[in-house]
Amino acid sequence: MDHAATLALYDRDMREGARPDSPDARVERAGSVVRQIASADGWNGVLWSGLDGMAAADVDAAIAEQIDCFTGLGHEFEWKLYAHDRPADLGRRLAAAGFTAEPEETLMIAETDTQLTAAAPPEGMRIVPVTDRAGVDLMVEANEKAFGRDGSWLRDRMLARLDIAPDETVAVVALAGDEPVSSARMELIPGTGFAGLWGGGTAPAWRGRGVYRALVAHRARIAADRGYPYLQVDASDQSRPILERLGFAALTTTTPYVHRPPALR
- pLDDT at position 262, please? 78
pLDDT band at 42 (very low <50, low <70, confident <90, very high): confident
CB 69 within 8 A of CB 232: no
CB 165 within 8 A of CB 23: yes
Averaged pLDDT for residues 96-101? 98
pLDDT band at 157 (very low <50, low <70, confident <90, very high): confident
For residue 51, what are the CA distances in angstroms to 60, 90, 162, 250?
10, 9, 37, 24
Quick one: fold of 111-235?
Aminopeptidase (3.40.630)
What average pLDDT does the structure give for the chain?
93
Averaged pLDDT for residues 256-263? 89
pLDDT band at 147 (very low <50, low <70, confident <90, very high): very high
Is-same-fold flag (3-103+254-264; 111-235)?
Answer: yes
Quick one: fold of 3-103+254-264?
Aminopeptidase (3.40.630)
Whether the predicted pLDDT of 210 surpasses 80: yes
Question: pTM for the complete prediction?
Answer: 0.90
pLDDT band at 264 (very low <50, low <70, confident <90, very high): low
- pLDDT at position 261, please? 85
The radius of gyration computed from the CA coordinates of the chain, to the nearest angstrom, equals 19
pLDDT above 70 covers a percentage of the chain that reads: 99
pLDDT band at 164 (very low <50, low <70, confident <90, very high): confident
pLDDT band at 119 (very low <50, low <70, confident <90, very high): confident
- Domain ranges within the chain, ordered by starting residue: 3-103+254-264, 111-235
Averaged pLDDT for residues 235-262? 93
